[in-house]
């Protein structure tokens, strides 16, 4: 079967040295219309031979080139005759490997910094000009102190005299700052210049092209076999199912295990979409009683996940066994899952995503995997969903973890608590939509805390739950900040919840932020 490398003649390889934002490099390259993949530095030599990139980008990382045994790029990178860009640690290892020098510095730079452009270069074409000052995002303790032969300085900052350097004759360039993050306002343009003007790549990485290629690959892989796809109600599995159905039609059967922990009316929406709109064969299993009974009284969040995971596997496996002749299992595995599974920094062992974030399906099912989205990031999956014609209300839906309301209900689970949370969450989202804020927020949800307070409502005292509201914004999914609602919105929403949801007498708003690399969409 053809690989992504066969299908995309213009492609960039990113060698990962452990930066928490390496994925953003690939995203920016793909946003420029060029296919891109990431490999850890340990397997980069082999990847260079099989992937045959038109350019290579060396990522940042936590190491120091002065440390014994610190990682290096394969020397072949600099002998391929293709352009190479080094970012932060990538710049320093490039420098050292080509005969320059880098060392630790007392003047570290973390956060926003201003650089002065000293000389023009192809990466700055149409973006920056000599003599201008521009904001960038720095994150380094080491710095270059001597450039390799043939290199010139293109920009510098107070703490980094070689903030941007390069050898235009060999098309080697290095940035001390991070162009991939949104905090470097012109960074995406600099990366686009690298892939288009320096590497000579076109801009034909589109969802329409991917859709056609994916359909062809699915047909080739599956042939006349039958495929089972587990639906979770989320975007990933839905897009995978619609794409596979376009390729093989009724050879696909979807199984939707309704565990009773979904948002209000969500199960009905899934069934309506797949049976009504797309006429895709769907097995709908209402296992809510089984799940909720098993979770009653359980307060440990990890035990909740494991309980849900085990029951899901049991139910799914039983239903899959009823689908005759199915030799393939479809999963909505995304590219970040693939990257994480081979992380050199100690990521989890290779486990196939279950869409319920609670563990893989057992090997005893003995089915071949169909993973049509494994090359895509989350935003690309949404774009593919739109390309396939899925309703915007479904494609743009906020992320929702597989264990669902069970982990948004700290403490023991009960039907009463789930119903309180489901109603309150629906009111919260309804108010967000009415205010026109839904698409401006990455994720919003309510949490029914395990705390009760005494309150006065009318002429009576109450002893009811405290409900917490959460909403975060994110551009990349790598950092998050709480959404800055105005007090009128919060007051209006809290009033509705307290008036309409029996069991809640106090509402709070969570203003926690998440620094880079720590997001867990719970």
Give how far the C-alpha of residue 49 lies from the chain's centroid of Cα atoms, to the nearest Å: 28
The whole model's pTM is what?
Answer: 0.76
Across 5-14, 294-303, 399-408, which has the greatest mean pLDDT?
Answer: 294-303
Per residue in 21-33, pLDDT (tens digit) is: 888 899 899 999 9
Q: Which of 88, 121, 199, 201 is catalytic?
A: 88
Q: What is the average pLDDT across 363-386?
A: 86
Q: What is the average pLDDT across 131-138?
A: 92
Assess whether pLDDT exceeds 60 at residue 359: no
Give how far the C-alpha of residue 40 lies from the chain's centroid of Cα atoms, to the nearest Å: 18
**Long-range contacts: 379-386, Cβ < 8 Å, 24+?**
379/27, 380/30, 380/207, 380/210, 381/235, 381/236, 381/239, 381/332, 381/334, 382/235, 382/239, 383/207, 384/207, 384/210, 384/211, 384/239, 384/243, 385/235, 385/238, 385/239, 385/242, 386/207
Assess whether pLDDT exceeds 60 at residue 298: yes
More confident residue, 351 or 394: 394
Tokens 């005494």, residue located: 454
DSSP-derived pairing of the beta strands 172-175 and 164-167: antiparallel
Q: Which of 140, 178, 183, 245 is catalytic?
A: 178
Assess whether pLDDT exceeds 70 at residue 517: no
With beta carbons less than 8 A apart as the criterion, state whether 465 and 449 touch.
yes
**Cα–Cα distance measured from residue 233 to residue 20, given in angstroms and rounded to the nearest whole number:** 29
Q: Pick the range with the lowest mean pLDDT from 194-208, 319-333, 337-351, 382-396.
A: 337-351
Q: What is the average pLDDT across 175-192?
A: 93
Per residue in 211-244, pLDDT (tens digit) is: 998 999 999 999 999 999 988 888 899 999 999 9
For residue 361, report the phi and psi dihedrals to the nearest 5 degrees: -80, 150
In the annotation, is 180 catalytic? Answer: yes
In the annotation, is 88 catalytic? Answer: yes
**Cα–Cα distance measured from residue 165 to residue 23, given in angstroms and rounded to the nearest whole number:** 23
Assess whether pLDDT exceeds 50 at residue 350: no
The per-residue pLDDT for 152 is 96
**Cα–Cα distance measured from residue 484 to residue 471, given in angstroms and rounded to the nearest whole number:** 9
Residues in contact with 389: Cβ distance below 8 Å, sequence separation at least 6, in sequence order: none
In the annotation, is 95 catalytic? Answer: no
Q: Which of 109, 180, 266, 464 is catalytic?
A: 180
Q: Cα angle at 66 between 63 and 69, to 5 degrees?
A: 65
**Cα–Cα distance measured from residue 500 to residue 479, given in angstroms and rounded to the nearest whole number:** 34
Per residue in 456-492, pLDDT (tens digit) is: 776 678 889 999 999 998 765 556 789 999 999 999 9
With beta carbons less than 8 A apart as the criterion, state whether 15 and 73 touch.
yes
Mean pLDDT, rounded, of the chain? 86
Q: What is the average pLDDT across 131-156?
A: 88
Q: What is the average pLDDT across 85-107?
A: 87
């Amino acid at each position: 079967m053809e690989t992504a490398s066969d299908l995309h003649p213009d492609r960039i390889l990113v060698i990962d040295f452990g930066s928490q934002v390496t994925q953003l490099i690939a995203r920016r390259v793909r946003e420029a219309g060029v296919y891109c993949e990431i490999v850890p530095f340990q397997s980069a030599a082999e990847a260079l031979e099989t992937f045959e990139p038109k350019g290579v980008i060396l990522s940042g990382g936590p190491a120091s080139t002065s440390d014994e045994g610190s990682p290096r790029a394969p020397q072949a990178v600099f002998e391929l005759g293709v352009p190479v860009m080094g970012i932060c640690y990538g710049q320093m290892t490039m420098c050292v490997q080509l005969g320059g020098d880098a060392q630790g510095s007392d003047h570290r730079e973390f956060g926003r910094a201003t650089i002065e452009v000293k000389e023009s270069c192809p990466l700055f074409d149409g973006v920056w000009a000599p003599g201008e000052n521009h904001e960038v995002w720095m994150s380094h303790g080491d710095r270059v102190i001597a450039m390799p032969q043939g290199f010139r300085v293109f920009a510098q900052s107070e703490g980094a005299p070689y903030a941007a350097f390069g050898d235009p004759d060999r098309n080697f360039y290095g940035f001390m700052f991070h162009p991939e993050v949104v905090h470097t306002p012109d960074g995406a343009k600099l990366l686009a210049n690298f892939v288009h003007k320096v590497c000579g790549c076109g801009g034909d990485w589109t969802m329409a092209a991917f859709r056609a290629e994916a359909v062809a690959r699915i047909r080739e892989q599956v042939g006349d076999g039958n495929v089972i796809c587990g639906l979770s109600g989320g975007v990933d599995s839905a897009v995978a199912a619609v794409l596979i159905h376009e390729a093989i039609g009724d050879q696909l059967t979807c199984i939707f295990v309704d565990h009773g922990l979904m948002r209000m009316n969500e199960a009905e929406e899934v069934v309506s979409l797949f049976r009504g709109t797309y006429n895709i064969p769907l097995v709908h299993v209402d296992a809510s009683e089984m799940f909720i009974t098993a979770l009653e009284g359980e307060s440990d969040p990890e035990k909740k996940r494991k309980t849900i995971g085990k029951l899901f596997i049991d139910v799914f496996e039983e239903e899959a066994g009823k689908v005759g002749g199915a030799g393939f299992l479809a999963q909505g595995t995304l590219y970040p899952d693939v990257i994480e599974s081979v992380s050199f920094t100690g990521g989890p062992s290779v486990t196939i995503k279950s869409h319920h974030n609670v563990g893989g399906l057992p090997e005893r099912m003995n089915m071949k995997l169909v993973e049509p989205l494994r090359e895509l990031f989350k935003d690309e999956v949404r774009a593919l969903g739109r390309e396939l014609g899925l309703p915007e209300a479904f494609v743009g839906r906020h992320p929702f973890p597989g264990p669902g309301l069970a982990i948004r209900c700290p403490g023991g689970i009960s039907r009463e608590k789930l119903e309180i949370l489901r109603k309150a969450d629906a009111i919260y989202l309804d108010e967000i939509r009415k205010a026109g804020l839904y698409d401006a927020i990455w994720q919003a949800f309510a949490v029914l805390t395990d705390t009760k307070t005494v309150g006065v409502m009318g002429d009576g005292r109450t002893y009811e739950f405290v409900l917490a509201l959460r909403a975060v914004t994110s551009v990349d999914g790598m950092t998050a900040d709480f959404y800055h609602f105005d007090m009128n919105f919060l007051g209006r929403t809290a009033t509705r919840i307290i008036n309409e949801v029996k069991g809640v007498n106090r509402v709070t708003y969570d203003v926690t932020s998440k620094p880079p690399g720590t997001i867990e969409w719970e």
